[in-house]
Structure formats: structure tokens, C-alpha cells
């Protein structure tokens, strides 16, 4: 195993660790301080000081904080927050809480974010720093693989979440860059990703990143990280790690400055300030801090003092569309279902048609869906009709959203949700109260939004709205439009039972939230339609 091509890496790592261990405590303190840093020198001598929100990749945030504490380049102050790139990109969808400036881990995140951003997202600087993507593990524990595609198949590899971190997304870029224009090779990457995506979908919380991930390495564990993170770990933890890249090279993770302020005027001012920020962070003092922290320069030159991997071949992905498709595939496979199922139990749903009520058909379909979905599905159940809840409310909560394998007394959540006919209230209203219920269900699903899941509301009904005392259609659609958050999507998926359902109204409701609408003209289709609605991830 080698840490630097053509050299004896173990001696160099030990020497590096011995030289740098004395500064470990200082670096740890800086890491904490940088999470909420406001530059004090940039406002010296200014009649007014403009404050800017600056989101920085967690690995870089301590060094940026230290560098800005010594800088004096204008009448600006920065509040720095350390954030993973996927978290920032999701907030840019609405502009709410979006930073003015952003230094992501991987410049490709800016291109991805621009597709859904509420405002302009522009990269305005040459990278402040770079660091090669690597695999790391305990000494002698990282297997040698011929390329990144093979590395994806390593049994002990914990890839992480590419929808959130720069390193996990980086290894997918590296594997795709190796494939060039070979469709067969691209297919092997997608097949390898499927295993990791399904594993990711089974997690209940985000995996650790950065130094926290390195600290958890034991046995045959292998993680995706950067040369810089390994350098910090060796220096501050007095612990050796094995590092590997394939002979054909690796992706260079870069850190540019990106303007993200959603307001056009604010965006223009942030761009000017960002240019001054770039000058400050490219200055000699800042470069020295970044180098000490294990970052290469913006070009990717090897670290000084025989640290790290030396000169490495760099892989470049030429077609970002391939990466976008891979991320869509990952989303479909990795994100679990989180849905609130809202079932109409008004009088018409309980009236027999050819010997069977629409509600009985829905119950049969729910039992059929039970065989399809894993325990990782989270679902809740409401029933609605006019005035069946507490006074002034048109729905009853049978079960809040919980995982299917959650035990409630002697029953699982799966049994409660799929045996919905057991929970129909003895007394229900005659009206449907569709609009009021949809609005409340949408608000409830938004309040419980899970960023690691495909969130939705599924509304099952045999009619349109029949509730003179409730809100109207236009009021509902306007409210859904105001509440809809592209960064936290909650599509309403409508299912019309029998040919009496108002398909036009249901389609309008679904469209207002980015959802889909289904109609079951034939009762035999209902089971498959419910399965399709529960699995609908196309609006993510």
C-alpha cells in the first residue's frame, strides 16, 4: 500500500505526524470558532459595515475563519456557517435562508443548484483550494482496486450520501469520468451504485462526515474522503490511516466562491464583495493557512514538505448530464417513502356499488400494497368527511406518520395502515370536505418533512368537494401555491375511486403541488394505482 506513488509512504506519514501534532489543539479550537465567525477587521475605518452570510464547506470553514480574522480588505463582515453542500443547495430552491456567498466542497454543486435555485447562482472565483479524493481505512486495510468503478464494489466501503456531501458525489463523478463514452461501463457504475443507494435508504439518520467519519474507522472499514481530511486526522488524532487512489487518477475536489443571494440587488453587491473575499483568500497569508491545514492550491499542486500523495493524475467528467442521471437513479433507489394517506369516508364512499362499497375496494387495495413495500416505508392514516372530527374539523387521525415496522401496542404501523376498514368512524358526515382536508394534510406533511425521504400526501376519494361551509377550490389552490416549497417538496397525489370522481379537480390539486393524479375507472385497477401512488418519486 502506498501513500505517494513511487515512495515509502509509511515513513513520510510518521514524520508528518511527528512534526504537526503540536498544533492539533489550536486547530481544533479554530474549527469550533469558525462555525459562527464574524470578521472584525473588515469594518475598521468604515462608517458602515455590510454583513454577509457565508456558507462554507465544513472541512474548509476553520481555515477560512482564521484567514478572515487576519484580513482587512473592505467594509464587510461575514457570518460563517459550516454546511454540507447538499444542505445549502436545497435551501437555494426557495431563497429562504439562502446565504449571500457559498464555498462548496466541489464546484459542481453550484451547477446542480442553479437548476432549482430561486435566484442567480454564479461561480465568481478561481478555486481557493483543492484536495484529491481518496479512499481511507486502517493501516493495511484498504484493498487495491484497478479503478473507481471497482472501488464501488468493495465490501467494506461506506460511500455516504451523494445528495449531501462533496466526497460521496465526488466518487460517483470519478467512476463516471473513467467510463468516457462507454455506455456499458456507465451501466456498471449504476449497478454498483444501486447497492449503496439501497443501503443508504435503510439508514435512519445521516452518516457521519469529515473527521467524525474518520474517527469511526475500524477493522475493514473504508470511507471516501479527501487528502486534506486525512492530513488533519493524522496531525490532530495521532492516528495513522492508509490512503489509496487508482493508478488512472482521481477527482480533484475544489472550493470556489459562489454568489447565491436570491435578491438581484443583493446578489450584485455580494458579487463585488465576493471578489474582494477571493483576493483576500488567495493572498499569501491565507494560502499559508490553507496549506498548513492540508489543502492544495487552486491548481492542485502537491503539498509541500513531502506531505500527502504527491502529484496525481486528475480525472475530469466531461458531461454533467451523465452525473445528473446518476443522481436521479440514486434518488429513486435511496430515498425511502414518507407519506400521509388521506381516505374519504363520506356517505358516498360507504354506499354499495354492484355489491361492494368504494371504501371496501380501497381497503382491499391497501392490503394488496402491503406485499410490495419494505419496513422502511413511513406512512400515516387520516379519514375525512364533513364534521367527523372535533368540532370544526373534517378529518380524524387514525395514525400519525411512522415507519411500517413501528410497534403500537400489539400491532405494527403496517397493520394499522393497511387494515384501514377497521378504523372507519361509526358516524361520518355526508359531505366530502375535500378542500379543507387537503390543505390541512399538506400543512401537516410539510411540518413533518424528512429531507432523507420522498415526502407526499395521498388523497383517495370518489368525488369532488361537497362542503358549503369550507374553503373553495380557488382558495385551496392559492394556499397550496403559497405554501409550496421546491426545496422541501410535498406533492399531493390524488386517487379518484370509480368514475364518479371529479378528475379535473383532482388533477388541479395535484398539479398545484407538483404531484400526480390517478383515476380508477375500473375497480380492479385500484390496487395497482395505490401501489403506483405510494411509490411515486418522480416529483422529487
pLDDT digits (tens, 9 = 90+) for 23-65: 333 333 333 333 334 444 455 567 788 899 999 999 999 999 9
Cell numbers for 279: 483576493
- Res. 10: pLDDT tops 50: no
CA separation for the pair 494, 510 (Å, rounded): 6
More confident residue, 14 or 69: 69
Asked if residue 539 has pLDDT above 70, the reply is: no
Show the cell assigned to 69: 480574522
pLDDT at 444: 96
Task: Give Cα separations from 485 to 181, 259, 312, 327, 511 (angstroms).
Answer: 37, 21, 42, 21, 14
Over residues 518-522, the mean pLDDT reads 78
| CA dist., res. 302 & res. 285, Å (int) | 18
Rounded CA-CA distance 437/434 in Å is: 5
Q: Which residue has the higher pLDDT, 332 or 433?
A: 433
Contact 173, 250 (CB under 8 A): no
Query: Residue 59: its pLDDT value, please?
Result: 97
Angle between helices 61-69 and 284-292 (to 10 degrees): 150
- pLDDT at position 465 is 67
Contact yes or no for 311/302 (Cβ under 8 A): yes
- Average pLDDT for 152-175: 92
Please name the helix (run of DSSP H) or strand (run of DSSP E) that holds residue 53, with its range, or none. strand 50-56
Q: What is the pLDDT of residue 383?
A: 93
Assign 430 to helix, strand or coil: coil
Report whether 199 contacts 154 (CB < 8 A).
no
455-496 confidence digits (pLDDT tens): 999 999 987 766 667 889 999 999 999 999 877 889 999 998
Can you give the pLDDT at residue 295?
98
Angle between helices 166-179 and 320-334 (to 10 degrees): 120
d(CA 526, CA 306) in angstroms, rounded, equals 66
Place of cell 499559508: 288
- What was the pLDDT predicted at 45? 62
Mean pLDDT of 392-398: 87
How much is the pLDDT for 103? 98
**Which pLDDT value is given to residue 42?**
52
The cell numbers describing 18, all together, are 511527528
Q: Among 309, 144, 136, which residue's Cα sits nearest to residue 237?
A: 136
Read off the pLDDT of each residue in 282-287 and give the average, rounded to a whole number: 95
Inter-residue contact 466 to 429 (CB < 8 Å): no
As a whole number, the mean pLDDT across the chain is: 84
**pLDDT of 4 strictly over 60:** no
Whether the pLDDT of residue 394 is over 80: the answer is yes
> CA-CA distance, 13 to 521, in Å (whole number)?
69
In this predicted structure, the answer to whether residue 5 has a pLDDT above a threshold of 50 is no
Q: Residues 410-428: what's their mean pLDDT?
A: 86
Q: Which of 10-24, 68-82, 196-210, 227-241 has the lowest mean pLDDT?
A: 10-24
Lowest-confidence segment of 55-64, 237-246, 457-466, 516-525 by average pLDDT: 516-525
pLDDT (0 to 100) of residue 73: 59
Cα separations (Å) of 501 from 131, 136, 439, 463?
Answer: 58, 57, 19, 4
Please check the confidence at residue 20 and state whether its pLDDT lies above 90.
no
Those residues with Cβ within 8 angstroms of residue 531's Cβ, 6 or more apart along the chain or in another chain: 368, 369, 372
Distance separating the N- and C-terminal Cα atoms of the chain: 42
> What average pLDDT does the segment 292-316 reach?
95
Task: Report, as an integer, the average pLDDT of 262-267.
Answer: 94
pLDDT at 506: 93
Angstrom distance (rounded) from CA 114 to CA 421: 46
Give the Cα separation of 490 and 537 in Å (integer). Answer: 11
> Residue 514, SS3?
coil
Q: What is the pLDDT of residues 179-200, one digit of tens each?
A: 867 877 787 888 888 888 878 8
CB proximity list for 296: less than 8 A, separation 6 or greater: 129, 130, 131, 132, 227, 228, 252, 302, 303, 308
Looking at residue 429, its pLDDT comes to 66
Q: What percent of the chain has pLDDT over 90?
A: 48
Q: What pLDDT is recorded for position 53?
A: 96
pLDDT over 60 (residue 304):
yes
Q: Is the pLDDT of residue 243 over 80?
A: yes
Please write the tens of the pLDDT for every residue from 84-131.
Answer: 999 999 888 767 789 999 999 999 999 888 877 878 999 999 999 999
Q: Above 80 in pLDDT, residue 258?
A: yes
What is the percent of the chain where pLDDT is above 70? 86
Lookup result for grid cell 456557517: 81
Would you place residue 537 in the very low, low, confident or very high pLDDT band (cuts 50, 70, 90)?
Answer: low
Burial group, residue 447, by CB count within 10 angstroms (0-12, 13-18, 19+): exposed
Sign of CA dihedral 429, 434, 439, 445: positive
Q: What is the DSSP string of 445-491?
A: HHHT--TTSEEEEEEEESS----TTS--HHHHHHHHHHH--TTS---
C-alpha grid cell for residue 25? 489543539
CA 45-48-50 angle, 5° bins: 110
* Residue-level pLDDT at 23: 34
Q: What is d(CA 452, CA 162) in angstroms, rounded to the nearest whole number?
A: 12
Above 50 in pLDDT, residue 15? Answer: no
Predicted confidence (pLDDT) at residue 390 exceeds the cutoff of 60: yes
- pLDDT (average), residues 127-138: 96
Residue 94 has a pLDDT of 67
What backbone phi and psi angles, to 5 degrees, belong to 397?
Answer: -85, 115
49-58, 253-262, 463-472, 527-536, range with the lowest pLDDT = 527-536
Residue 321: name the closest of 37, 534, 108 by CA: 108
According to the model, what pLDDT value does residue 536 have?
A: 63
Exposure b/e, 403-441, CB count within 10 A at least 16 = b? bbeeeeeeebbbebbbebbeebeeebbebbbbbbbbbbb
Residue whose C-alpha cell is 370544526: 392
Amino acid at each position: 500500500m502506498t501513500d505517494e506513488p513511487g515512495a515509502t509512504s509509511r515513513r513520510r506519514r510518521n514524520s508528518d505526524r511527528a512534526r504537526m501534532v503540536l498544533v492539533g489543539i489550536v486547530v481544533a479550537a479554530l474549527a469550533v470558532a469558525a462555525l459562527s465567525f464574524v470578521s472584525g477587521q473588515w469594518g475598521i475605518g468604515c462608517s458602515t459595515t455590510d454583513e454577509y452570510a457565508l456558507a462554507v464547506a465544513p472541512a474548509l470553514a476553520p481555515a477560512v475563519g482564521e484567514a478572515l480574522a487576519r484580513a482587512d480588505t473592505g467594509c464587510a463582515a461575514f457570518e460563517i456557517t459550516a454546511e454540507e453542500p447538499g444542505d445549502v443547495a436545497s435551501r437555494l430552491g426557495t431563497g429562504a435562508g439562502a446565504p449571500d456567498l457559498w464555498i462548496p466542497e466541489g464546484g459542481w454543486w453550484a451547477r446542480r443548484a442553479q437548476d432549482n435555485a430561486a435566484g442567480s447562482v454564479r461561480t465568481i472565483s478561481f478555486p481557493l483550494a483543492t484536495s484529491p479524493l481518496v479512499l481511507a481505512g486502517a493501516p493495511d486495510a484498504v484493498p487495491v482496486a484497478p479503478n473507481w468503478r471497482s472501488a464501488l464494489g468493495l465490501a467494506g466501503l461506506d460511500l455516504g450520501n451523494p445528495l449531501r456531501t462533496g466526497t460521496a458525489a465526488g466518487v460517483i463523478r470519478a467512476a463516471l469520468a473513467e467510463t468516457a463514452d462507454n455506455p456499458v461501463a456507465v451501466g456498471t457504475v449504476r449497478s454498483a451504485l444501486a447497492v449503496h443507494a439501497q443501503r443508504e435508504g435503510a439508514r435512519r439518520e445521516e452518516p457521519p462526515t469529515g473527521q467524525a467519519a474518520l474517527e469511526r474507522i475500524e477493522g475493514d472499514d473504508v470511507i471516501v474522503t479527501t487528502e486534506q481530511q486525512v492530513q488533519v486526522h493524522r496531525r490532530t488524532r495521532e492516528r495513522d490511516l492508509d490512503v489509496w487512489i487508482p493508478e488512472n487518477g482521481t477527482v480533484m475536489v475544489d472550493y470556489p466562491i459562489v454568489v447565491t443571494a436570491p435578491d438581484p440587488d443583493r446578489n450584485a453587491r455580494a458579487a463585488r464583495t465576493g471578489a474582494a473575499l477571493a483576493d483576500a483568500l488567495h493572498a499569501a497569508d491565507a494560502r499559508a493557512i490553507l496549506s498548513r491545514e492540508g489543502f492544495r492550491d487552486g491548481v492542485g499542486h502537491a503539498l509541500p514538505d513531502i506531505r500527502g500523495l504527491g502529484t496525481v493524475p486528475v480525472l475530469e467528467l466531461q458531461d454533467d448530464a451523465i452525473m445528473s442521471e446518476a443522481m436521479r437513479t440514486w434518488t429513486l433507489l435511496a430515498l425511502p417513502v414518507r407519506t400521509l394517506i388521506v381516505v374519504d369516508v363520506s356517505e358516498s364512499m360507504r354506499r354499495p356499488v354492484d355489491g361492494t362499497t368504494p371504501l371496501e375496494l380501497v381497503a382491499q387495495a391497501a392490503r394488496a400494497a402491503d406485499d410490495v413495500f419494505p419496513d422502511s416505508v413511513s406512512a400515516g392514516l387520516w379519514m375525512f368527511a364533513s364534521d367527523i372530527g372535533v368540532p370544526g374539523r373534517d378529518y380524524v387521525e387514525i395514525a400519525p406518520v411512522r415507519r411500517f415496522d413501528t410497534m403500537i401496542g400489539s400491532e405494527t404501523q403496517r397493520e394499522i395502515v393497511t387494515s384501514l376498514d377497521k378504523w372507519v368512524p361509526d358516524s361520518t358526515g355526508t359531505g366530502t370536505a375535500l378542500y379543507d382536508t387537503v390543505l390541512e394534510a399538506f400543512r401537516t406533511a410539510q411540518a413533518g418533512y424528512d429531507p432523507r425521504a420522498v415526502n407526499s400526501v395521498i388523497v383517495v376519494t370518489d368525488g369532488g368537494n361537497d362542503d358549503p361551509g369550507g374553503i373553495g377550490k380557488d382558495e385551496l389552490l392559492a394556499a397550496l401555491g403559497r405554501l409550496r416549497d421546491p426545496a422541501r417538496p410535498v406533492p399531493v397525489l390524488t386517487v379518484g375511486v370509480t368514475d364518479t370522481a371529479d378528475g379535473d379537480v383532482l388533477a388541479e390539486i395535484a398539479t398545484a403541488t407538483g404531484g400526480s393524479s390517478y383515476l380508477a375507472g375500473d375497480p380492479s385497477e385500484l390496487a395497482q394505482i395505490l401501489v403506483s401512488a405510494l411509490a411515486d418519486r418522480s416529483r422529487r
